[in-house]
Homo-oligomer: A and B are copies of this chain.
Amino acid sequence: MAVETARARTLSHVDPAEVPLQTALDALADPVRRSILRDLATHADWSRACGTFDLPVKKATASHHFAVLRSAGLIEQRDEGARRLNRLRRTEFEKSFPGLLSATIDRAD
């Protein structure tokens, strides 16, 4: 448990209300990150672990993409044992950037 807690502590989250529009757009302007968001949008909150996404990039790059999404207030993450679970912050993000997420992920690339 101590290890889990220490790892969880490294996960910093940003309130979408504090995210600049530029940061939000930069986060959304990447096809791998959009595929992560679309995946999360079609699954229940906390049901998808980072390792289970089928992404066309190496693990370190995937971790970077998840971190960018977290910094932009688009996803929330928490560790459960060895798994890092994810949740799309659809409602909070929508409140700060009305229509932006839907316009970006509710369609194919």
Question: Which A residues fall within an 8 A CB radius of B?
Answer: 20-22, 25-26, 28-29, 31, 34, 97-100, 102-104, 107-109
Contact = CB atoms under 8 A, between A and B. Distances in A.
A33 to B, nearest CB: 11
B98 A21 contact: no
B104 A21 contact: yes
A-side interface mostly: helix
Nearest to A101: B103
Contacts of A103: 97-100, 103
In order of increasing CB-CB distance, the 4 nearest A-B pairs are A100-B103, A99-B99, A99-B103, A25-B29
A23 B89 CA distance: 25
Contacts of A26: 29
B29 A109 contact: no
Given A20-B109, A21-B108, A98-B103, 8 more contacts: A21-B104, A21-B109, A22-B31, A25-B28, A97-B107, A99-B99, A99-B100, A100-B104
